[in-house]
Amino acid sequence: MSTEENKRLVRRFYQEIDEGNLDAMDNLVAEDYQDHSPPPFPGFAPGREGLKQAFRLFWEATPGTHEIEDQIAEGDKVVTRLMARGVHAKDLPGISATGRPITMTGTVIHRIENGKLAEKWSDKDVFGFLQQLGVIPAPGGASG
């Protein structure tokens, strides 16, 4: 696949997630997908099934969107800088629903193999996310 096709694959991945179409992951993600930066909650299966479990949890608890701000591709890798926005509508493991709007920045590297996402590394603002949910106090003692 060309670098432009790889970028389109990643954009489609986030579009399908935003639409709640997790069944599309069967066509977009390799069965033995490796997430080198998994969510901060334990208990997900390995591979594509674990990815679907994680996104189902987050999509139900924090429905929202991913806005791609930048994308760079070289070889079999695509780097995406994005902003995720949502509302904490339902409980997350150990965190009761707050109803608060949330945002989280992230930089994600996907490796593509045989036309599917095969690996992922990411750097997300989990600390800021937890501050917005009131799990970690915001600077100055104010909660998000």
- Beta-carbon-side half-sphere exposure of residue 95 (alpha carbons within 13 Å): 21
Does pLDDT of 143 surpass 60? Answer: no
Does pLDDT of 107 surpass 70? Answer: yes
Terminal Cα-to-Cα distance of the chain (whole angstroms): 43
Residue 97 DSSP symbol: -
Q: Is 140 exposed, middle or buried (0-12, 13-18, 19+ CB in 10 A)?
A: exposed
Does pLDDT of 12 surpass 80? Answer: yes
Mean predicted confidence (pLDDT) in 95-117:
96
pLDDT digits 0-9 by tens, 39-80:
877 789 999 999 999 999 999 999 999 999 999 999 999 999
Give me the sign of the Cα torsion angle 30, 125, 94, 60: negative
Helix, coil or strand: residue 103: strand
- Give the C-alpha separation, 134 to 139, whole Å: 12
| DSSP H or E run through 124 | strand 116-124
Are 27 and 49 in contact by the 8 Å Cβ rule? The answer is: no
Does pLDDT of 99 surpass 70? Answer: yes
- Tell me the β-bridge partners of 108: 80, 122
Q: Is the pTM of this model over 0.85?
A: yes
- Tell me the β-bridge partners of 71: 80
